[in-house]
Amino acid sequence: MPHATFRQVDLEALCGESDLSLDRIEELCLLVKGELKRKGCVDGDVKVELQDTNRPDTWCVEGIARQIRQHKTGVPGDYACFEPPAVGQAPSARIQVAASVKSVRPYVAGFLARGYTVDEDGLQAFIAAQEVLCHNFGRQRKSVAIGIYDASQMTFPIHYEAVDAASEERAFVPLQPNEDDPCDGSGTPIPAERWAQPWTPAEILRDHPTGRKYADAIPDPSRATILVDDAGQVLSFPPVINSATLGRVQPGMSELFVEVTGTVLDQVLLAANILAANLADRGAQIEACETHYPWETERGAVLPCPHLLEDRTTVTVTPDRFGALLGEPELGSAEICDRLRHYGVKVASEANALRVTTLPYRADYLHQVDAIEDFAISRGYDTFAPLLPEEFTVGSQSIGSQFEDLIRDRMIGVGFEEAIGNILTSAVEVRERMLLPAEGPVPEFRPVHGANSVRIQNVMSVNYSLLRDWLLPTLLEIEGHSSGARNPHRVFEVGEVCSWDETQVLASQTRQHLGALLADDKQAGFSECQAYLHALLHTLGLSFGEGEGTYGLDLVEHPSFLPSRAAWVVIGAARTRIGLIGEVHPGVLEAWRIYSPVSAFEICLDTLRALLD
């Protein structure tokens, strides 16, 4: 989840408060679904975790302060930059897009901010907003990246083009990375004089630490998008790095150009609007900039920025919808309008409905319910009196878990201790240590094993790379850690297993198994183990024998068990297999570092239950 860390004094200045206590800040942060993180903050800093992934405007100090300010004043905010332009008044600045970027990184938006002299807190806050937007909202700069420049040195219009990454044509001096003794792609320290020389985009991707870090954010390393001013000065190589000349913004500057590039148009426009609002909150006058595309985007070929996103900011809701969803049928529109305005939302009455509009730094109104929640948050969740659900319903346990409980009771009754193991495990555990082939299906051992195992494609750790398809490995792992516990050991698990099965809709089968393990220096053999299995099946109404209503054992050679000491557990006249029983193979025991004899059985409870029904 995104975080915002900022100076407390900066927050206070932005929302017109002073000497806020941390408790008060914590309370106010509820307005932005933020949670104050008190741990690990430097004195005077405030760290807030923001939950609402659909409200990137709240991920920075300006956004948090804005919501608090609006809550206090009840005024949505007066942003000239978000007013529709007067007819015939076109923005003075322009970005010209070349057709070459369309297949690489097609969208760009920008604006100018003047009249605000950058100070240290403001610059830090801008960088923080830029980071969090690029990282969380822009998926590590893949879909959104942001640049800020010293506009006083630039000549408009700006050109946005894609070039051959290896070409010298747009080589430029990039910003130095913020690290000591940076090294290039081969690990060689980069000499100081290199930072004075131009780099091609390809060189940046290969040798510049920042270039290497963000190389994944561009789809094709041979094509680089470049922003360049009309005088031919390179602004940046988005989404990777700014130039060291125009792209180095420092406190004291007061003419700024901000641009956003990306692959999703509305995200680009929304990010630009958020940054415009942030700088406006700090006192800057925002001057719009027009982007001219050589093709029709979904919003046209000429797009101003800031952009009003009019089709994404308004919902129309009748007041009774508020009352019905919130459980206050008597709720009136006056209260609704008042509280929505205190949440920074514009409301207008329209026939019998309310037209609710956010400012365009928000584009999260998808449905009427979104406006209704804004109202509820603005009024405070604590103002809604809880009501007990009134309708009667009958509670019940699922058939499957009832059967599980029955089996668990029986196993506990014969003296077994219950275990729960993890389902996500490794081929080493469920296959190799069990002397089963590491790869490939073992269908001859259905229903205990399936065909193949369910394996993870994006493995994080080989220890957690597939789902167990039987429980015995879990029990053996426990036994392997239990050499110090007194004998005999009797342990069982009733739990889920899963195996790959292409014939199923979900290409897999999740089943409930029972696994039971017996370990002892003496009396841990087949017959002892069978006695427990018999106790269990007998109480389920199955006698040992042949024919209907019976269970039996059929010898099987299974690699995990001693030869001639393993059997299928079968049921009924058809001798349907429901599981396995046997003395565990010494090779398996060695693999688990177990030094006393072990016998075990495992049965598929789903199969058993179906046969009992």
Partner 1 sequence: MSDNPLSPNEAALLRAAPASPGFDFLALLDASGLSRGQAQSAAESLTAREFLARDETLAASLAITDTGRSQIEAGIPELRIRAKLVEGPIAIQAAQDLPGLGRAVVGSAFGGLKKGKLIAVDKGQVSLCEHAAWAVHEGRLALLQQLAAVGGSVAWDEIPPDALSDVEARLPGKRKKDDSVFERVEVRTRRYTLTDPGRERQSTLAEARPQVAELTKEMLKEGTWRDVEFRRFNLAEPPWRPIGRRNPYRQYLDLVRRRLIGLGFEEMSGSLVEPEFWNMDALFLPQFHPAREIHDVYYVEHGSKGGPCYAREIDGGALEPVALEHEGRGVTGSRGWNYEFDRERSKRLVLRSQGTVLSARWLQKATTPGKYFGMARCFRYDEVDATHAPDFFQVEGIVSSEQTSFRHLLGLLKVFAQEMARSSEVKFVPAYFPFTEPSVEVHMKHPDLGWMELGGAGIFRPEVTKPHGVDCPVIAWGLGLDRMAMVALGIKDIRHLFTNNLPGGLGTLRDLVAR
Site for partner 1 in 449-508 (CB under 8 A): 451-458, 460-461, 463-464, 467, 477-479, 481-482, 485-486, 488-491, 493, 496, 498, 500, 502, 504-508
Could you tell me the smallest distance in angstroms from the CB atom of residue 183 to partner 1? 26
Of 396, 350, 343, which Cα lies nearest the Cα of 365? 343
Residues 6+ apart with CB under 8 A from 536: 407, 410, 411, 414
Q: Which amino acid is at 59?
A: W
Nearer to partner 1, 203 or 404 (CB): 404
Kindly indicate which of the ranges 200-208, 281-289, 445-453, 543-551 contains the residues binding partner 1, using the contact rule CB under 8 A.
Answer: 445-453
Smallest separation, CB 31 to partner 1 (Å):
8
- Name which of 50 and 148 has its Cβ closer to partner 1: 50
Cα distances from 234 to residues 132, 174, 314, in angstroms, run: 25, 10, 39
In order of 64, 507, 599, the CA distances from 13 in angstroms are 12, 58, 72
CB of 600 to partner 1, least distance (A): 15
CB closer to partner 1 out of 453 and 560: 453
**DSSP SS3 for 307:** coil
Residue positions counted in the chain: 613
The least CB distance from residue 561 to partner 1, in Å, is: 22
Each residue 49-68 as x (binds partner 1 by CB under 8 A) or -, in order, gives --xxxxx-------------
Single residue of 45, 220, 320, 418 touching partner 1 by CB under 8 A: 418
Q: How far is the CB of 577 from partner 1 (least distance, A)?
A: 22
In angstroms, the CA 180 to CA 150 distance is 25
- Kindly state the smallest distance separating residue 363's Cβ from partner 1, in Å: 9
Which part of the chain contacts partner 1 (CB under 8 A), choosing from 111-119, 319-327, 523-531, 596-604?
Answer: 319-327
With residue 409 as reference, give the H or E element that holds it. helix 399-413
Contact call for residues 305 and 111 (beta carbons, < 8 A): yes
Q: How far is the CB of 78 from partner 1 (least distance, A)?
A: 26
**Residues 238 to 277: which contact partner 1 by CB under 8 A?**
264, 266
Check if the beta carbon of residue 360 is closer than 8 Å to that of residue 273.
Answer: yes
Nearest to 64 by CA among 423, 480, 445, 361: 361
Nearer to partner 1, 113 or 315 (CB): 315
3, 33, 47, 575: which one contacts partner 1 (CB under 8 A)?
Answer: 33
Strand partners, 228: 159, 234
Task: Please state, in angstroms and rounded to a whole number, the distance separating the CA atoms of residues 183 and 190.
Answer: 5
Helix axes 265-281, 120-132, angle to 10 degrees: 160
- Between CA 56 and CA 362 the distance in angstroms is 8
For CA atoms 135, 307, 377, 127, the dihedral sign is positive
Asked whether the beta carbons of 204 and 240 are under 8 A apart, the reply is yes
When binding is defined by CB under 8 A, the residue of 193, 390, 444, 613 that contacts partner 1 is 390
Smallest separation (angstroms) from partner 1 to the CB of 110? 22
Q: Which of 423, 578, 600, 603 lies at the binding interface for partner 1 (CB under 8 A)?
A: 423
Shorter beta-carbon distance to partner 1: residue 46 or 475: 475
Minimum CB–partner distance for residue 182 and partner 1 (Å) = 26
Considering only CA atoms, which of 470, 494, 489 is closest in space to residue 558? 470
Nearer to partner 1, 247 or 450 (CB): 450
**Residue among 456 and 612 whose Cβ is closer to partner 1:** 456
How far CA 393 is from CA of 388, 390, 396, 400, 401, in Å, comes to: 13, 10, 10, 21, 20
Which residue, 500 or 561, is less far from partner 1 as judged by CB? Answer: 500
Of 287 and 477, nearer to partner 1 (C-beta) is 477
Which of 396, 444, 527, 613 is the binder for partner 1 (CB under 8 A)?
A: 396
In this complex, which beta carbon is closest to partner 1, that of residue 90 or of residue 366? 366
Among 41, 175, 424, 427, binds partner 1 (CB under 8 A): 424
Q: Which stretch binds partner 1 (CB under 8 A): 25-33, 194-202, 548-556, 603-611?
A: 25-33
Nearest distance, CB of residue 397 and partner 1, angstroms: 5
**What letter does residue 134 receive in the DSSP assignment?**
I
Question: What are the distances in angstroms from CA 493 to CA 428, 478, 611?
Answer: 20, 11, 21
Q: Which residue in 142, 368, 366 sits closest to 267, CA to CA?
A: 142
By beta-carbon proximity to partner 1, the closer residue of 172 and 532 is 532
Chain residues 353-372 in contact with partner 1, contact rule CB under 8 A: 365-367, 369-370, 372
Total of chain residues touching partner 1, rule CB under 8 A: 102
| Rg (alpha carbons) of the chain, rounded to whole number | 33
Token pair in block for residue 111: 């604006």
β-pairing, 417-418 vs 346-350, is: unpaired
- What is the torsional sign of CA 355, 381, 61, 158? negative
Tokens of 609: 């239950």
Among residues 190 and 428, whose Cβ is nearest to partner 1? 428
Q: Which of residues 537-596 bind partner 1 (CB under 8 A)?
A: none
* CB 170 to partner 1: min, Å: 30
Map the footprint of partner 1 across residues 111-170, applying CB under 8 A.
136-137, 139, 143
Task: Give whichever of 208 and 433 is closer to partner 1, judged by the CB atom.
Answer: 433
> Is 251 or 440 the residue whose CB approaches partner 1 more closely?
440
Give the Cα separation of 138 and 132 in Å (integer).
Answer: 8
Residue 330 Cβ, how far from partner 1 at the closest point, in Å? 12
Q: Scanning residues 167 to 206, which ones bind partner 1 (CB under 8 A)?
A: none
Closest distance of CB 511 from partner 1, Å? 10
320 binds partner 1 (CB under 8 A): no
Nearer to partner 1 by C-beta: 288 or 331?
331
CA distance 284 to 277: 9
Helix (H) or strand (E) holding 526: helix 526-539
**Integer CA distances (angstroms), 356 to 270, 317, 341, 467, in order:** 19, 8, 9, 49
Q: Tell me the closest approach of the beta carbon of residue 77 to partner 1, in angstroms.
A: 20
Contact set for partner 1, span 294-313 (CB under 8 A): 311-312
Q: Round to whole Å and give the CA distance between 462 and 434.
A: 17
Nearest approach in angstroms of CB 316 to partner 1 is: 10
